[in-house]
């Protein structure tokens, strides 16, 4: 079978996964990437005495399920397997004890993990509260939030030089004295931007809440109560903030510890950045997903689930993820020791909504919820059988003795302490696409794809396009109409039975989102990454009900997102009091084109001049900024250059200056100029300079982006964002759940699977 990849999949692979040479040129095909990964993972069986023939067969099996897009591992594995880096895990949890040594030792480890492409989770619950007395020094403790800001700043610094942007989870127990401040710490969307935050809620707290009682806040240093507070007041604040901007999320920490397979090693305190992978200190976990959209077959014109295929792929996936642990190059010895002690893996699914559509089952139905339980139960059962086989052949995980599997009859020789996790599948679902993400519903049936020069192309969900053409109601005009908001709800000309099946995230009541999460959670060892979507008009009480329902249905946590609750409305239409009006209307792209006027130049302005060596000679780039430090204009000069070279440089300078003065985001300008090549490249301080335009981009980055002298990307209206290299951009009219701007391609960031991700280029904050 030849590898069939979508246009988007090829772009994501070229940008993020395929090998590149020193000049950034792709030197690997997708087939070669999958072969590289399959070979690197299969070789682990050599440790256990397998023959070369057996290893070659296993490699072919791994290669087959990946190229058939039936299973894909987490991104670090695809990126790093078979390379010198060799760090293959996505999820890490690090301890933070109440000492400077522990705080900054974990910070150092965090930097190493982020550099290698992993995400980190922390519980700050052991840190003494703000203003507590430090007896050893006589000083005053600064509290968990202050140290979380230190971690956030460090992540920002590593992010600029690392291969992947770092992501963190910050968790605080509900009985910590600083819980109210922690709940409010991300009220401003521009603060602590490299963290998701969650409150670890205990069963005791929920019982107090049900009875309307007060509860104790406990000093983690003395372990003594310091204050009693109203449980309802605390819960109200958590819900209010979640309604406002989606944070904090909630994890039900006692429920997570109910399935702690190795309680003698310690208790769970934290999760990875999206909340679905709970781990002990220093543990890491390897994730992968079965593509359910590929797990069906058409018989007599109707799709049916291919249970035999799910069985085979699940068993191979468990073998793959277990082998991954053996060949992984861990960032720290402590992490290797903790990870190999329990050998936890997290097998999940993607393409759930796509499968439901093929089966003609609405996402928001009892039939879908029942099928979710059936499929996940089947996957867990087959994964368990395979882990038992591996345990008998290779040995149990080292911490097996005293674990929940340690039975007297010796019948449960499990190889892995945990087997299943429903994790975000942002980029791998694009590679496997067209395929829906994780267990989320579709985000849109049809949407606009913006290309260069603001041309708009209509992108249609392939399954919908197929059905529309079969049923005879397909037309370009209809697709454009659907693309206005992505949903079929208020669109005429689409049969009701089609509307019933092709539902999107905002067509579905929050209760069904929670019920679907709970259905999968029943058969997931770890937790389930899922966003509970709310319409913009949802009330705080609606969010409260969802939180309580999640607890009642035995979910291990909950993340919500209310439509438009994070939109950055820098420009508004209306009166001067529009900031006070929650319904202030955002400026459309057409309005923006009419309103924008470049700022006039003041008489005096200051700046810097940077010298860069190019293949054409020394280039001098002057960047001037206004009184607020915002970039205003750019001039270039190159020795004795004249004629065409001088005129082109002047043209670039004028256009960049115009963009600065018009408020265009600096990173977007920089990306348009970067890597443009000319016949005479050069080297400058160890960097390849491809052209004068490339040199200008690097100066802009050095002086403005790295020095943080410009406004953050989210302060630029969405209407300003354009894709480059003809990459797709979801238009702001297509969905309401846009939460910002992709730092890689300028596309729309959406809140999905408990994370922020871009459908245009595959960027995922987590």
Q: Is 404 helix (H, G, I), strand (E, B) or coil?
A: coil
Residue with tokens 């209760």: 511
Helix, strand and coil in the chain, % to nearest 5: 40, 20, 40
CA distances to 350, 436, 637, 738 from 311, in Å? 16, 21, 66, 37
Q: Give catalytic status of residue 745 as yes or no.
A: no
Instruction: Name the one residue in this structure whose structure tokens are 């946590």.
Output: 557
Separation in Å, CA 437 to CA 62, 111, 305, 529: 22, 29, 19, 11
Half-sphere exposure of 352 (CA within 13 A, CB side): 32
- Separation CA 256–CA 272 (nearest Å): 13
Rounded Cα distance, 723 and 41, in Å: 36
Q: Are 151 and 123 in contact (CB under 8 A)?
A: no
For residues 416 and 390, what is the distance between their CA atoms, to the nearest angstrom? 9
Alpha helix (H) residue ranges in 293-425? 307-327, 333-342, 352-358, 366-394
Task: Outline where DSSP puts E strands in 195-234.
Answer: 195-201, 214-218, 225-230
Helix, coil or strand: residue 449: strand
Residue 55 burial by Cβ neighbours in a 10 Å radius (0-12, 13-18, 19+):
middle
**Start-to-end CA span in the chain (Å):** 32
Q: Using H for helix, E for strand and C for coil, what is the string for 723-741?
A: CCCCCCCECCCCCCCEEEE
| Residue 87, CA atoms < 13 Å, CB-side half-sphere | 21
CA angle 396, 399, 405 (to 5 degrees): 65
DSSP codes joined into one string, 582-615? TTPEEPPHHHHHHH--PPPPPS--EEEEEEEEET
C-alpha 558: how far from its chain's center? 16
What does the alpha-carbon distance between residue 161 and residue 6 come to, in Å, rounded to a whole number?
30
Looking up tokens 């070669």 gives 32
Query: Can you tell me whether residue 172 is helix, strand or coil?
Result: strand
> How many separate helices (H) and strands (E) can be counted in the chain?
24, 30
- Tell me which residue of 491, 435, 497, 444 sits closest to 471, measured CA to CA: 497
- Is 276 known to be catalytic? yes
Find all residues with CB under 8 Å of 222, minimum gap 6, and list them: none
Q: CA angle, 312 as apex, 310 and 317 as ends, to 5°?
A: 90
Q: Which of 80, 260, 272, 328 is catalytic?
A: 272
**Residue 173: burial class (beta carbons within 10 Å; 0-12, 13-18, 19+):** buried
Residue among 59, 269, 276, 752 flagged as catalytic = 276
| Cβ–Cβ under 8 Å, residues 88 and 327 | yes
Q: Which of 274, 692, 745, 755 is catalytic?
A: 274
d(CA 34, CA 16): 14
Does residue 644 have an active-site annotation?
no
Q: Is 346 exposed, middle or buried (0-12, 13-18, 19+ CB in 10 A)?
A: buried
Residue 182 in tokens: 């922690």
What tokens does 662 get?
């018009």
| Residues forming the active site | 272, 274, 276
């Amino acid at each position: 079978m030849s590898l069939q990849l979508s246009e988007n999949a090829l772009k994501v692979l070229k940008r993020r996964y395929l090998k590149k040479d020193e000049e950034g040129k792709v030197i690997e095909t997708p087939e070669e990437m999958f072969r590289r990964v399959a070979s690197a993972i299969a070789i682990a069986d050599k440790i256990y005495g397998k023959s070369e023939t057996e290893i070659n067969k296993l490699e072919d099996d791994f290669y087959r399920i990946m190229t058939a897009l039936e299973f894909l591992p987490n991104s670090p594995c695809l990126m790093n397997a078979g390379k010198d880096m060799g760090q293959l895990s996505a999820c890490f949890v690090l301890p933070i004890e109440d000492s400077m040594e522990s705080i900054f030792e974990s910070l150092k480890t965090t930097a190493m993990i982020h550099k290698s492409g992993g995400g980190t989770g922390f519980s700050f619950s052991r840190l003494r509260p703000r203003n507590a007395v430090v007896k050893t020094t006589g000083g005053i403790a600064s509290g968990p939030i202050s140290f979380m800001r230190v971690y956030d700043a460090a992540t920002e610094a590593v992010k600029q030089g690392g291969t992947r942007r770092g992501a963190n989870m910050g968790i605080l127990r509900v009985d910590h004295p600083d819980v109210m401040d922690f709940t409010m710490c991300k009220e401003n969307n521009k603060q602590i931007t490299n963290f998701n935050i969650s409150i670890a809620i205990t069963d005791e707290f929920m019982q107090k809440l049900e009875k309307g009682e007060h509860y104790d806040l406990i000093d983690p240093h003395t372990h003594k109560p310091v204050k009693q507070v109203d449980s309802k007041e605390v819960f109200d604040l958590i819900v209010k903030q979640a309604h406002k901007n989606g944070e904090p999320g909630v994890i039900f920490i006692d429920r997570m510890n109910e399935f702690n397979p190795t309680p003698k090693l310690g208790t769970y305190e934290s999760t990875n950045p999206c909340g679905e992978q709970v781990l002990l200190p220093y543990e890491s976990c390897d994730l992968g997903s079965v593509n359910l959209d590929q797990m069906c077959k058409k018989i007599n014109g109707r799709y049916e689930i291919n249970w035999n295929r799910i069985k085979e792929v699940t068993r191979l996936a468990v073998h793959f993820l277990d082998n991954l642990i053996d060949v992984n190059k861990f960032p720290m010895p402590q992490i290797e020791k903790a990870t190999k002690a329990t050998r936890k893996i997290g097998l999940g699914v993607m393409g759930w909504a796509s499968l439901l559509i093929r089966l003609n089952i609405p996402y928001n139905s009892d039939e879908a919820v029942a099928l979710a339980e059936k499929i996940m139960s089947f996957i867990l059962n087959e994964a368990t059988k395979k882990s038992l086989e591996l345990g008998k052949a290779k040995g149990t995980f080292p911490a097996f003795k005293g674990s929940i599997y340690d039975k007297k009859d010796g019948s449960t020789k499990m190889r892995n302490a945990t087997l299943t996790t429903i994790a975000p599948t942002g980029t791998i679902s694009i590679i496997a696409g067209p395929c829906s993400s994780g267990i989320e519903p579709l985000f849109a049936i049809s949407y606009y794809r913006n290309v260069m020069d603001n041309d708009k192309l209509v992108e249609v969900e392939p399954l919908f396009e197929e059905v529309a053409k079969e049923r005879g109601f397909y037309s370009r005009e209809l697709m454009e109409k659907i693309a206005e908001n992505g949903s079929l709800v208020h669109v005429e000309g689409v049969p009701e039975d089609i509307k019933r099946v092709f539902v999107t995230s905002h067509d579905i009541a929050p209760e069904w989102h929670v019920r679907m999460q709970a259905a999968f959670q029943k058969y997931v060892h770890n937790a389930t990454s899922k966003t509970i979507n709310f319409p913009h008009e949802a009330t705080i009480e609606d969010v409260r009900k969802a939180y309580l329902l999640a607890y009642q249905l035995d979910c291990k946590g909950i993340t919500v997102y209310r439509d438009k609750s994070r939109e950055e409305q820098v420009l508004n239409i209306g009166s001067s009091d529009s900031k006070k009006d929650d319904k202030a209307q955002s400026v459309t792209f057409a309005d923006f084109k009419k309103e924008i006027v470049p700022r006039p130049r003041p008489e005096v302005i200051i700046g810097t001049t940077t010298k860069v060596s190019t293949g054409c000679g020394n280039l001098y780039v002057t960047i001037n900024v206004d009184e607020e430090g915002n970039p205003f204009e750019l001039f270039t000069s190159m020795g004795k250059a004249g004629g065409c070279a001088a005129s082109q440089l002047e043209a670039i300078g004028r256009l960049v200056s115009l963009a600065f003065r018009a408020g265009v985001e600096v990173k977007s300008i920089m990306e348009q100029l970067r890597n443009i090549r000319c016949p005479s490249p050069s080297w400058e301080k160890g960097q390849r300079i491809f052209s004068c335009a490339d040199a200008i981009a690097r100066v802009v980055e050095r002086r403005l982006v790295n020095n943080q002298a410009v406004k953050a990307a989210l302060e630029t209206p969405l209407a300003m964002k354009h894709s480059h290299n003809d990459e797709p951009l979801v238009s702001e009219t297509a969905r309401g759940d846009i939460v910002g701007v992709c730092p890689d391609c300028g596309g729309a960031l959406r809140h999905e699977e408990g994370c922020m991700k871009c459908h245009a280029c595959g960027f995922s904050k987590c």
